Amino acid sequence: MKKVTGIGGIFFKTKDPELMKDWYARNLGLVTNEYGSVFEFRGADKPENKAYSVWNPFKEDTEYFQPSEKEFMINYRVENIEKLVEELREAGVIICDEIETYEYGKFVHILDPENNKIELWEPVDQVFEKMYEGKTTK
């Protein structure tokens, strides 16, 4: 079974998320939206399908990264999140919450040995394609 299939997103804390989005758009060409920027790419296993990852600045006082005290969080794209969570539990990995399902995928959070919070995402890329067609960073 595949586990992690790629980077789903990079999230970081900042004093002024809007300033950061504007700076990255103006200086580095990111196509930004209310959350950050959506990167579009093609997967090595299925190059005919579009896939997505997200770059997202968060306000520095966000509680979303807790219990981690780090300034960043990485989101990994995964397959079969339910089976993966079972395997992680059996291995003694700390699971922070229950799997949540949204139109664009399933999510769960875990902690690594240094208490870094990690977001696991089983994406539904077709929904992102409809939401962000023509509005992605390529």
Q: pLDDT digits over 90-110, tens only?
A: 999 999 999 999 999 999 999
Asked whether the predicted pLDDT for residue 133 surpasses 90, the reply is: no
0.85 surpassed by pTM = yes
In order of start, what are the domains of the chain with their CATH numbers?
4-132 (3.10.180.10)
Token look-up 């780090």 returns: 70
Distance from the Cα of residue 40 to its chain's centroid: 13
Distance CA 77, CA 8 (A): 5
Q: Can you give the pLDDT at residue 110? A: 98
Determine the average pLDDT of the residues in 57-84: 96
Minimal CA–CA distance to 23: which of 49, 53, 55, 50? 55
Q: Can you give the pLDDT at residue 137? A: 92
